[in-house]
A = this chain, B = another copy of it.
Amino acid sequence: MTKPPASKVISDIDYEKEGRQVSRLFMPHSHNDSAWGAVAIPVVVVKNGSGPTLLLTAGTHGDEYEGQIALLELARTLRPEQIQGRVIIIPALHFPACQVGKRLSPIDGRDINRSFPGDPAGSFAQALAHYVTNFLLPLADVNIDLHSGGRSLDCLPSTMSHILDDKAVLERTIALAKAFGAPLHVMNREVDGAHTFQSTAERMGVISMSSELGGCNRVSLDGLAIARRGIVNALVHLGIADGQIERPAEPTRAMVIPASGDYGFAPASGIYCPRVPLGAIVSAGDAVGDIYRIEDPELPPHPVVARRAGMLWCQRGQGRIQTGDSSAVVVSAYEAAP
């Protein structure tokens, strides 16, 4: 095995050590007010004997909160004697973005989830992605990276994964999602995903799942409850923790986003007003929302129509919308290929 390329990250974590470690990843960040400084990213590693390794991350986008809260709780409380194997927890991965509650980092303006597999000589996000790719993913059997809709979107609480050609891996991922137990598990074909965390994990053979747990830049109590329960369920499902999986009242439904053009790019700028709530069943051509234009009180609102039938799963999470912003996404029931 070749040695991974050097990272700029400085840390005293020993991922092979038994027990509980609470420390930081120090990523050097040289700027006008700090020539030799670093950003300190908290990480907790809990290890007990042999067993699978689960890498749990949240805060890949700083304005997605349910996962950050659920992992902060787990990171504070998980003890070696509760597990068999290893759990690596980073509750606020893209830490500079989490500090300001934004999708992008104030340091380099980048989305770390478009910066994989990373570059040790690149910007902050690229160098951090490089560390994840080369020093964390090789340790992991499974990665769960917890997302929500962020400020621009509002989604029905769901887990997510990609439609993979490898049926065995696809089935293992769906089984993980069903154990996690969100109301929906939404799958899509990776679009513009060459540089995402999840695609990188998949290419490295890691079982990989993410989520959408709410949105509108606020904490969803429903989404948070689903995340809390799902993480424990996943630990049990993977054989890392003992116990029973806590099943929701309704089993998880598998859904798909059929095509890459289905993100409902807004045809105008204004105030986006939904006509129907999330979860509504719509037909192709139905108006699912309207765009109101404040500059002209004589102008009727501009309707936004569904391109295909299905369930309204995601819509604009802010009042104002700009031409080209995603307005509404409809999902269909997943039919496993025979």
Q: Which of A121, A152, A195, A274 has the most CB of B within 10 A?
A: A152
Q: Which of A166-174, A199-207, A257-265 contacts B (4 or more CB under 8 A)?
A: A257-265
> Which residues does chain B contribute within 8 Å of A301, judged by CB atoms?
72
A257-278: which residues lie under 8 A (CB-CB) from chain B?
Answer: 260-261, 263, 265-266, 271-274, 277
* Partner pick for A297 among B33, B42, B100, B320, CB 8 A cutoff: B42
CB distance from A198 to the nearest CB of B (A): 15
Count of this chain's copies in the oligomeric assembly: 6
Interface size band for A: 35 or more
In this complex, which of A29, A39, A40, A221 has the most chain B Cβ atoms within 10 angstroms of its Cβ?
A: A40
Binding site for B on A (CB under 8 A): 8, 10, 12, 22, 26, 28-40, 42, 44, 59, 61, 63, 65, 68-69, 72, 75-76, 89, 91-92, 95, 98-104, 111, 114, 121, 149-154, 192, 194-195, 216-219, 221, 224, 260-261, 263, 265-266, 271-274, 277, 292, 294-301, 316-320, 322-326, 329
Supplied contacts A33-B151, A34-B325, A72-B292, 19 more A-B pairs, CB within 8 Å: A26-B261, A31-B103, A32-B63, A33-B325, A34-B324, A35-B61, A37-B326, A38-B324, A59-B294, A65-B319, A72-B301, A76-B297, A76-B299, A92-B294, A98-B294, A101-B318, A217-B217, A217-B319, A218-B316
